[in-house]
Amino acid sequence: MTMGTVFATGAAGGIGEATVARLLDDGYTVVAADISREGLDALARQHEGQPLHTIAADLTDEQAAREAVRTARREVGQIDRLVNLIGWFGTQPFVQEDSAYWRKTIAINFEALLYVTHEILPEMIERKRGKIVNVTSDAGKVGQSGEAVYSGTKGAVIAWSKSLARENARYGLNINCTAPGPTETALELAQDSDVIGRVIRVIPFRRFAKPAEQAAMISFLCGPDSDFITGQVFSVSGGLTMI
């Protein structure tokens, strides 16, 4: 018996791949959406024979995002869970950034979530059942030098998620966030080794998280043990932030 269907955005990345694997193991049917067709094909090969559907789409384009959700409905029926993993960042001082970088960061980290969630939320409200997990960042809680606009978008996702949780608790919906700390993904590990070393030294556990450890929290928030939790932000950062 399936646990239901999860629509996961940004599913071909490091945490995304680990989350897809965990949710499939949990018994969900998973629809993985990502801009990378190549990444999705690799994911499909990895999970051949499992209830995984893939949709390649630029989720920063509103019509493409909405059509991706509609395609998922045609393929799998109702969507019971939404996991927004999509995200991107660069590292440089704010004064060195330009508006093209700002627009890209805002589009990926915030606008894409608005489009997908706006398309999925009404069916959850109608059924009075559903869970949404938005993957943010500790940078959205405490700020991060060199990631000012990224931190701003993640802070916006946190405030938006809390607002949605308040609006939709009356319908029995659970809407929460995870806030990963530094994690062993290609994007994180592409940083200068000196930067990585400095970060590790300030993490109490003295290491980056593994993608599977981030997926474990997402799994919990999708599952029945989180039924009385909403509007919360859970840091998975090895103690880097304790707020």
Residues with catalytic annotation?
Answer: 150
Q: Which of 40, 59, 48, 60 is nearest to 24 (CA)?
A: 48
191, 177 Cβ separation under 8 angstroms: no
Look at residue 56 and give its three-state secondary structure.
strand
All residues at 6 or more sequence positions from 145 whose CB lies less than 8 Å from its CB, including other chains:
none
The set of long-range contacts for 123-129, using a CB threshold of 8 Å and a minimum separation of 24, is 123/78, 123/79, 124/79, 124/168, 124/171, 124/173, 125/168, 125/171, 125/173, 127/78, 128/171, 128/172, 128/173, 129/80, 129/172, 129/173
